[in-house]
């Protein structure tokens, strides 16, 4: 299985499993399919499902990489410590592999990060991260932090590659993860994605996931079907030709979910 190695030496799978709006049976199937990286958040309400699925699997906690995120209303120094303890209770563990701020809040980013650094120094978090932070949000953290973020999450998929942010995080040595790597299906009927699906004899979803990996971006797909879960993992073995990668990179804008950290959500 392909992996990414973070700047602190932690090796993580190249594809993770997203748990937004999933149930415990889906998480159990994902473990059966071979997923070992699970992305959750307090806002998702799926932390308990991950702990239950791991318990049912009979596998060890250390066999998994678990990432969770701190919600907007839990930011601030004391609130962060309280919310993190609840996350530990939900996950039935004494540490989280990756812990992120879910959305930026310029008034609270730094004191929230300070609390996360304290938890990191106590060995309760292995990697600190940022979710939905654009470069100018991340710059504030990087200019003041003692412990740097090693992972960042953004909406990323064909038609919405956020090139400036991607290059920024690459330059900083921060792994970019793609939430909504298929734009929740909105790009799957695009003429180019369909063409490449036929050319490489794989699904449209696999084209999207393989594209992420070719950009050194870690996708976080989800599915409720065991067959599709396995198919998604098999995307790691697909080799898209450089010319076709460039064609995807130059697709017209499409598929954006309507969420921006500094603006009201647009319903798409």
List the catalytic residues: 44
Q: Nearest 5°: phi and psi at 106?
A: -60, -25
Q: How many residues does the chain have?
A: 268
Instruction: Round the CA-based radius of gyration of the chain to a whole number and report it.
Output: 18
Neighbour tally for 53: CB within 10 Å? 25
Handedness of CA 16, 21, 24, 25 (dihedral sign): negative
Contact of 226 with 33, CB cutoff 8 Å: yes
2-11: Cβ within 8 A, 24+ apart: 2/213, 2/236, 4/175, 4/216, 4/218, 6/127, 6/150, 6/151, 6/175, 7/148, 7/150, 7/173, 7/174, 8/126, 8/127, 8/150, 10/97, 10/126, 10/127, 10/150
């Amino acid at each position: 299985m392909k992996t990414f190695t973070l700047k602190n030496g932690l090796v993580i799978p190249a594809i993770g499993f997203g748990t937004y709006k999933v149930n415990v049976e889906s998480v159990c199937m994902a473990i059966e399919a071979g997923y070992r990286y699970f992305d959750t958040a307090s806002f998702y309400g799926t932390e308990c499902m991950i702990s239950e699925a791991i318990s049912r699997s009979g596998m060890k906690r250390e066999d998994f990489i678990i990432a969770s995120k701190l919600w907007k209303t839990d930011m601030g120094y004391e609130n962060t410590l309280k919310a993190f303890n609840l996350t530990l209770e939900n996950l039935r563990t004494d540490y989280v592999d990756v812990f992120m701020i879910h959305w930026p809040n310029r008034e609270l980013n730094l004191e929230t990060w300070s609390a996360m650094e304290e938890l990191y120094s106590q060995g309760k978090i292995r990697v600190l991260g940022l979710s939905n932070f654009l470069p100018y949000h991340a710059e504030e953290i990087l200019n003041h932090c003692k412990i740097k973020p090693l992972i960042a999450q953004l909406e990323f998929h064909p038609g919405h590659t956020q090139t400036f942010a991607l290059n920024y995080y690459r330059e900083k040595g921060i792994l970019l993860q793609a939430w909504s790597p298929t734009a929740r299906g909105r790009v799957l009927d695009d003429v180019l994605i369909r063409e490449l699906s036929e050319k490489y004899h794989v699904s449209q979803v696999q084209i999207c996931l393989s594209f992420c990996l070719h950009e050194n971006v870690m996708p976080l797909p989800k599915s409720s079907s065991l067959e599709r879960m396995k198919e998604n993992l098999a995307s790691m073995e697909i080799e898209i030709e450089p010319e076709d990668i460039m064609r995807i990179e130059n697709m017209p804008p499409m598929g954006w979910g309507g969420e921006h950290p500094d603006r009201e959500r647009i319903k798409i």
